[in-house]
């Protein structure tokens, strides 16, 4: 079973254009061209929470992804920032 820690997910999403919301330290918001988008997720940063199927399904929905493979690709890096943004644009999620 594929699983990742909240700390791992947070670090990898931050490398893909997500920024920590100053008002909610667990909330990560995607920025494109320095502009905040409507795409966000919340992840634990305690290093103890392990994200398995149920939590990853929630993250998938929040990140506007269609499959668990897309979540894996985004977190494990085969999907680049540009690829993710392109996917969101094609789906009409962001302009």
Distance CA(10)–CA(94), nearest Å, equals 21
What does 19-80 look like in DSSP terms, one character per residue?
Answer: EEETTEEEEEEEEETTEEEEEEEE---SS--EE-HHHHHHHHHHTT-SSHHHHHHHHHSSS-
The whole model's pTM is what?
0.91
Instruction: Average the pLDDT over 53-72 and give the result.
Output: 96
Tell me the pLDDT tens digit for each residue of 83-94: 999 999 999 999
Q: Residue 82 has what pLDDT? A: 98
Tell me the pLDDT tens digit for each residue of 6-59: 999 999 999 999 999 977 778 999 999 999 999 999 998 776 889 999 999 999
């Amino acid at each position: 079973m594929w699983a990742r820690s909240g700390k791992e997910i947070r670090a990898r999403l931050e490398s893909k254009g997500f920024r920590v919301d100053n008002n909610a330290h667990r909330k990560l918001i995607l920025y494109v061209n320095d502009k905040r988008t409507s795409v966000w997720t919340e992840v634990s940063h305690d290093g103890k929470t392990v994200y398995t199927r149920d939590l990853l399904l929630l993250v998938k929905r929040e990140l506007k992804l269609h499959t668990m493979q897309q979540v894996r690709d985004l977190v494990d890096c085969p999907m680049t920032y540009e690829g993710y943004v392109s996917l969101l644009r094609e789906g009409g999620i962001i302009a």
